[in-house]
């Protein structure tokens, strides 16, 4: 019998835990996978990258544990003596991952970009607990890839060999000192690292990409929001004759939910008990509608996805209505407990462009509100075309006709346009 299977699984776990306790400072062992597909990873920090696990060609077995322990010591020694990140990874591939030398000098931008994209979608959403595997067909995962890599790589000539001239040309598209420039340099370093172009990575490491220019932070007091709320509804100022009052009420309700529940805009569209009782036997959730008198605290449950399938960063959680002592009647003023999700309609030639800030929003803040107020419209000609008209579509019909679209890319005839 092979020594890998001569001991029980519980004993194997004990040996692995012992090995974890005896790793050198700066390097640890991590186990990933399930069943007989489990692998051991070495976890360490190098350069400016956060501490993370790296494959070391070791299975979760008796031999694998012993091999991983030896390799952890080798990595710790190399990290303390190596002065070049490129040199380290060349050594790591050769000695730790045991990959035979392959000449990558003839690889094109397109080939390396494809490898990075494959590795990205083979990875996991680490902010989820437990981590969830990314999905190529998931709109949120595709948007995340675009934010981290795609928006920078798309400027590169895919059919050309990797070279510094084209990389520098792409980097010149962004202002030095901005966060976008910093992220662009980081993406190019990733490309050089994967392609093992030592000279390219060396030059990129010499670039000072530190962010020195920041956007002015916006603040909005609750009183400011209430004044803007009343102005937008035409209570304190007269509205334009063509103003869509229903659309204004709907989007103001969304923003009011963000304020009173501390949510992101997208999370409002993932509330499961918005219009009625929600039950999930698997998760043991049984909660009345958020505005039901029996729901003390008007608690909501936020699921993993919005109505249209986009993922939520902090889903699977509960949230309670917040009423500040300074405004005890805030819920009544904002009419928060009367749900009014914006109606969505798709028109053949209507185009709406939203700022990328919508996808990057960090919290329900004034900046998030302003983004949604700056929608640009290109009205369609009157009358239907190719069987489409300007009547609202149910979410199921939207999915049937157009697939799983990003919520904020949906074309809404009733979206707000406030001046």
Per-domain residue ranges of the chain: 9-96, 109-205, 222-409
Q: Give the burial string for 186-216 (b: 16+ CB within 10 Å, else e).
A: bbbbbbbbbbbbbebbeebbeeebeeeeeee
- With 70 as the cut, is the pLDDT of residue 191 above it? yes
Calculate the average pLDDT of the chain: 79
Please state the rounded mean pLDDT for residues 175-197: 92
Q: Give the burial string for 238-261 (b: 16+ CB within 10 Å, else e).
A: ebeeebbeebbbbbbbbbbbbbbb
- With 70 as the cut, is the pLDDT of residue 134 above it? yes
pTM of the model as a whole: 0.58
Which position has the higher pLDDT, 8 or 324?
324
Highest mean pLDDT among 130-139, 240-249, 373-382, 391-400: 240-249
Tell me: the pLDDT tens digits for 45-98?
A: 988 788 999 999 898 887 889 899 999 999 999 999 888 888 888 899 889 987
- With 70 as the cut, is the pLDDT of residue 390 above it? no
CB 79 within 8 A of CB 46: yes
Please state the rounded mean pLDDT for residues 312-317: 82
Separation between Cα atoms, residue 119 and residue 89, nearest integer Å: 17
Going by pLDDT thresholds of 50, 70 and 90, the confidence category of residue 374 is: very low
Please state the rounded mean pLDDT for residues 26-36: 88
What pLDDT score was predicted for residue 344? Answer: 59
Separation between Cα atoms, residue 284 and residue 128, nearest integer Å: 19
What pLDDT score was predicted for residue 165? Answer: 95
Separation between Cα atoms, residue 319 and residue 32, nearest integer Å: 32
Q: 140: which 2 tokens? A: 């949120």
What pLDDT score was predicted for residue 217? Answer: 83
Separation between Cα atoms, residue 311 and residue 305, nearest integer Å: 4
What pLDDT score was predicted for residue 29? Answer: 95
- Residue 35: count other Cβ atoms within 10 Å of its Cβ: 6
- With 90 as the cut, is the pLDDT of residue 401 above it? no
Please state the rounded mean pLDDT for residues 16-42: 90
Percent of the chain with pLDDT over 90: 52
> Which 8-state DSSP code applies to residue 35?
G
């Amino acid at each position: 019998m092979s020594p890998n299977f001569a001991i029980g699984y519980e004993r194997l776990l004990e040996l692995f835990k012992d090995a974890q306790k005896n790793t050198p400072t700066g390097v640890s062992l991590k186990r990933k996978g399930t069943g007989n597909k489990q692998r051991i990873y070495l976890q360490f920090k190098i350069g400016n990258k956060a501490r993370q696990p790296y494959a070391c060609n070791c299975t979760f077995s008796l031999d694998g544990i012993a091999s991983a322990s030896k390799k952890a010591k080798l990595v710790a020694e190399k990290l303390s003596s190596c002065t070049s990140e490129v040199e380290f990874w060349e050594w790591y591939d050769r000695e730790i991952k045991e990959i035979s030398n392959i000449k990558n000098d003839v690889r094109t931008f397109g080939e390396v970009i494809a490898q990075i994209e494959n590795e990205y979608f083979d990875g996991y959403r680490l902010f989820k607990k437990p981590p969830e595997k990314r999905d190529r067909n998931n709109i949120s995962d595709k948007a995340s890839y675009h934010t981290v890599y795609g928006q920078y790589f798309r400027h590169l000539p895919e059919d050309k060999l990797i070279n510094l001239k084209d990389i520098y040309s792409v980097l010149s598209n962004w202002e030095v000192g901005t966060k976008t420039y910093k992220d662009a340099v980081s993406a190019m370093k990733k490309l050089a690292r994967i392609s093992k172009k030592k000279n390219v990575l060396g030059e990129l490491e010499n670039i000072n990409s530190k962010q020195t220019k920041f956007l002015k932070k916006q603040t909005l007091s609750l009183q400011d929001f209430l004044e803007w709320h009343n102005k937008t509804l035409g209570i304190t100022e007269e509205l334009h004759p063509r103003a869509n009052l229903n659309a204004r009420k709907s989007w103001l309700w969304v923003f009011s939910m963000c304020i009173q529940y501390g949510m992101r805009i997208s999370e409002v569209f993932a509330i499961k008990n918005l219009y009625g009782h929600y039950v999930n036997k698997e998760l043991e959730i049984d909660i009345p509608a958020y505005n039901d008198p029996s729901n003390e605290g008007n608690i909501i449950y936020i699921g993993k996805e919005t109505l249209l399938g986009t993922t939520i960063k902090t889903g699977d959680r509960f949230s309670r209505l917040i009423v500040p002592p300074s405004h005890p009647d805030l819920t009544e003023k904002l009419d928060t407990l009367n749900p009014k999700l914006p109606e969505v309609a798709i028109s053949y030639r209507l185009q709406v462009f939203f700022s990328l800030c919508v996808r990057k929003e960090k919290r329900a803040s004034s900046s998030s509100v302003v983004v949604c107020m700056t929608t640009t419209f290109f009205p369609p000609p009157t009358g239907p075309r190719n069987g489409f008209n300007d009547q609202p579509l149910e979410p199921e019909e939207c999915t049937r006709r157009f697939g799983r679209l990003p919520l904020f890319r949906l074309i809404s005839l009733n979206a707000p346009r406030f001046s």
